[in-house]
């Protein structure tokens, strides 16, 4: 039983569409996977850099100013006799 040319063309078109769709899906997945890989690699690099980094110096505590001398209470003038 021979298949008509029209039917064969239709089937070919359908197959081409399916192939295209599958290819697009595969490409999208590959793109996503690549992005994920890149993200993971960057995270690993950051982690390694943090491990290798020299420990940061802790800021020395600021010196407090020496306590100021309190002014001595003023002496009252002696009361004069009349």
Across 43-69, b (16+ Cβ under 10 Å) vs e yields: eeeeeeeeeeeeeeeeeeeeeeeeeee
Any domain includes 64: no
Asked if the model's pLDDT at residue 2 lies above 90, the reply is no
Residue whose token pair is 């800021």: 59
- 14-61 pLDDT tens trace: 999 999 999 999 999 999 999 999 999 999 999 998 888 777 777 888
Supply 78's token pair: 């002696």
Range of the domain at 22: 1-49
Supply 38's token pair: 């890149």
Asked if the model's pLDDT at residue 82 lies above 80, the reply is no
Any domain includes 4: yes
Q: Where are the alpha helices (DSSP H) in 2-53?
A: 5-52
Any domain includes 76: no
Domain count, the chain: 1
């Amino acid at each position: 039983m021979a298949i008509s040319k029209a039917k064969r063309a239709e089937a070919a078109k359908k197959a081409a569409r399916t192939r295209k769709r599958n290819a697009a899906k595969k490409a999208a997945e590959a793109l996503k996977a690549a992005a994920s890989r890149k993200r993971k690699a960057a995270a690993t690099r950051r982690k390694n850099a943090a491990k290798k980094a020299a420990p940061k110096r802790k800021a020395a505590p600021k010196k407090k100013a020496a306590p100021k001398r309190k002014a001595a209470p003023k002496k009252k003038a002696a009361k004069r006799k009349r």
